[in-house]
Amino acid sequence: MALHRFQSSTVPIVRFTEIGSTNTEGLARLSRGEAMPVWLVADIQTAGHGRRGRPWTSELGNLFATLVLPNPAPPTNVAQLCFVAGLALRDAVIAAAPLLVTDALKLKWPNDLILNGGKLAGILVEGGTDPAGRPAAVVGFGVNCLHHPEDLPYPATSLEAAGAPAAPDRVLEALDTAMAVRLNQWNGGNGFASIRSDWMRHAFAIGDTVTVKVGEREVTGRFESIDVRGAMMLRRKDGIAEIITAGDVSLPKGE
């Protein structure tokens, strides 16, 4: 069956049968000063990566897409894009896969989409600059549409495995629309209070005890909220509040 190829009416789409990484290509295009914004979409990535350079398994049948954004916000607000993108991706998956039980679709701090407790998608926001030194960003999405890896230290899933199949281009079409809506809501950071409120309604493990790996240190406590910058607010067992700006979250064993 021939694949439907979605074409955005507002943002150009550049397609690759195979590429190392759509995010890496996006950063290269930024450095060259090429026309933006643009979607970069690949059928297969050979060097896909997530946070801290971790490899991202890239199989045919899943979505690998990067939105390249020129001057999206002041540099201090660019990190908020992971929350904007998380909400947009959740909106898009719900629109593209109507058979999905939406209550099972959660946002894991800071940049994962969780379905029935398993990782469905990851988001990677990377900041850059154009040749004039103006701030820019690439927002990468990896969505398990048809496949999901089995050999991970945490659960993973796909839309197919959840009984709510959706083709990559159907998710992309919905994501193109949803990103426009959520970026407008965010307004370069001026609307982050609204984004934060929406994100909190769908937060994974909110109110639960979680363990966060911060560098070589692990912190365990109750996930209370995210602050006005998007940092995690954790209440340790000794009652001390800890603010975490970056880290890897997991549920403690036995939870």
Compute CA 116 distance to the chain's CA centroid, rounded to the nearest angstrom.
17
CATH of 209-250, one of 2.160.10.10, 2.60.40.10, 2.30.30.100, 3.40.50.300: 2.30.30.100
Pairing outcome for strands 217-226 and 63-70: unpaired
Pairing assessment for the beta strands 13-19 and 38-45 based on DSSP bridges: parallel
Bridge partners, residue 180, by sequence: none
Kindly state the DSSP code that residue 153 receives in the 8-state scheme. S
Q: What single DSSP character describes residue 182?
A: H
Strands (E) located in 46-188: 63-70, 105-108, 112-115, 118-129, 135-143
- Angle among Cα 67, 13, 171 to the nearest 5 degrees reads 70
Quote the pLDDT of residue 48. 62
Cα dist. 149→62, 64, 89, 96, 185 in Å?
A: 11, 15, 20, 22, 34
Bond preceding residue 110 cis, omega within 30 of 0: yes
Per-residue pLDDT of the chain (255 residues; tens, 9 = 90+): 234 566 666 899 999 999 999 999 999 999 898 878 999 999 999 876 555 545 555 678 999 999 999 888 998 899 999 999 999 999 999 999 999 989 999 999 999 999 999 999 999 999 888 888 888 999 999 999 999 988 777 889 999 999 999 999 999 999 999 999 999 999 999 999 999 999 999 999 999 999 999 888 999 999 999 999 999 999 999 999 999 999 989 865 544
Q: How far is CA 107 from the centre of its chain?
A: 9
Amino acid code (one letter) for 199: W
> Is 111 in contact with 125 (CB distance < 8 Å)?
yes
What 3-state DSSP class applies to 172? helix
Question: What are the residue ranges spanned by the domains of the chain?
Answer: 13-201, 209-250
- As a whole number of angstroms, the distance between CA 32 and CA 77 comes to 23
The total of other beta-carbon atoms located within 10 Å of residue 17's CB is 8
pLDDT of residue 255: 44
State the Cα–Cα distance between residues 255 and 250, nearest whole angstrom. 10
Which residue carries 């109110």 as its tokens?
Answer: 207
How far is residue 73's CA from residue 80's CA, in Å, rounded to a whole number? Answer: 9
Residue 57's pLDDT is 59
Report whether 128 contacts 151 (CB < 8 A). Answer: no
The CATH code of the domain at 13-201 is 3.30.930.10
Dihedral pair phi/psi, residue 113, rounded to 5°: -110, 125
